[in-house]
Amino acid sequence: MKFMTRLFGTDGVRGLANETLTVNLALRLGQAAAEVLTRENRTSKRRPTAVVGRDPRVSGEMLAAALAAGMASRGVDVLRVGVLPTPAVAYLTDDYGADMGVMISASHNPMPDNGIKFFAAGGHKLADEVEDEIESYMNSMVDQGPTGHGVGRVIEEAPDAQERYLGHLGQAVKADLSGIKVVVDCANGAASEVAPLAYAAAGAEVVAIHNEPNAYNINEDCGSTHIEQIQKAVVKHGADIGLSHDGDADRCLAVDAEGNVVDGDQIMAILAIAMKDNNSLRKNTLVATVMSNLGLMLAMKEAGIEVKTTKVGDRYVLEELRNSDLALGGEQSGHIVIPDYGTTGDGTLTGLALMARMAETKLSLKILAEAMKVLPQKLINVPVTDKTIIMGDPRVLAAIEAAEDELGETGRVLLRASGTEEIFRVMVEAADADTAVRIAGQLAAVVAAV
């Protein structure tokens, strides 16, 4: 089985379960990853170990079995931790001292999809070159593995996995949330048990919705991709805050008591100011992506906080956080990373930190979110025949220059190619919505004509 295009995407391997993401593929991925990720830690006296978790979707059961079989066939002991959020699996990979971790989830994607993402020792996401090495090994791999005592064991249940993760969250955010009423939309996903438990353990009054996964209803008209559900629920229950997670709970979006959305950029603004006030925002610097709203940049400038920007994707945020030894980063979508307490985005940790700031300041989420004014943003996806030539076309460059001259410091223009499709994304921010829509439409027309 050789792959003509790169198997790994921006966040692991994803596809339609049992069609493109098959049991056979999962088996071979498990074998190849076991060989590559544990190679340096194999000794005659020590067998390497792997942690495997999943979200509740039905295909996760068979894929977890196939991955575990593949890794065990290459001499790795496998600890299956069951249904837990992605950040929990990353944390447990480190906490158990495992050589590698695997999360089986397609995050916010519909139930028929699934995905496989690997973590190296310490719970860190893999670099591109390591993923390429795994893929290369798959293309040349022989079937023969160890025999006898060399075959790995599969431990079907880790009884303390959830308890360890909840203990970690409690240590990371030590706050008394008594008096705060929170509604949490668990997306019928991986956080359906742990998120309500974590918030209640901190003292909050918790109303949980969409917290009854049945293997088929993950992300179905709920969670962070259907924010209207938490908006309605917060108003209905008279809550102080609503928190909405995705299927694997590595992201968090919020709404205030009136049902107004507080997105990832606003959450970052709130937490960055809080951490600066508490002297924990190293180098007074926040990491965001180029898609973050200009309002975040302006708010941080006013607060005396520098912003470093990366390409779109939480993996690039993580790289910058690690390389520059910084303490906070994230994306508009709600992936918020606090590297002192996690190696990936953690929606439940984000929710705890947000409520801790409310408790500390005695301010409502609406008032806290006013630290940042969200500028109107218009995004147009333009189908093109060759996305590689767009930014070299003089008509496009002239149109961008004209748009930037008109906007000045009151707006922003961003054009970028899709990573997976022949689409060019045109994004414009401006002081008012009409201007953003007009200029985005003008730029999109120029791009479409190339």
Q: 105 a known binding residue?
A: no
Q: Which of 151, 337, 369 is nearest to 260 (CA)?
A: 369
Q: Which of 188, 223, 186 is nearest to 207 (CA)?
A: 186
Amino acid at 65: A
Residues 6+ apart with CB under 8 A from 348: 85, 87, 169, 191, 194, 195, 198, 199, 245, 249, 252
CB 15 within 8 A of CB 21: yes
CA distance 405 to 366: 34
107 is catalytic: yes
Q: 44 a known binding residue?
A: no
Q: Which of 240, 304, 243, 223 is nearest to 269 (CA)?
A: 304
CA distance 44 to 192: 41
Exposure of 203 in the CB half-sphere (CA atoms within 13 A): 11
Q: 246 a known binding residue?
A: yes
Amino acid at 154: V
Neighbours of 217 (CB within 10 A): 17
CA distance 152 to 70: 10
Q: 250 a known binding residue?
A: yes
* Long-range contacts at 298-305 (CB < 8 A, ≥ 24 apart): 298/372, 298/373, 299/269, 299/371, 299/372, 299/373, 300/269, 300/272, 303/269, 303/272, 303/273, 303/276, 303/371, 304/276, 305/272, 305/273, 305/276, 305/281
Would you state the structure tokens that stand for residue 116, as one six-digit string? 């496989």
Choose the catalytic residue: 59, 73, 107, 244. Answer: 107
CB 347 within 8 A of CB 195: yes
| Tokens 């990366």, residue located | 310
From the number of C-beta atoms within 10 Å of its C-beta (0-12, 13-18, 19+), residue 235 rates as middle
Q: Which of 7, 33, 10, 26 is nearest to 100 (CA)?
A: 33
| Tokens 């005396």, residue located | 304
Q: Which helix (H) or strand (E) holds 316?
A: helix 314-324
> Residues forming the annotated binding site?
107, 246, 248, 250
Q: Which residues are catalytic?
A: 107
In the annotated binding site for Mg(2+), the residues are 107, 246, 248, 250
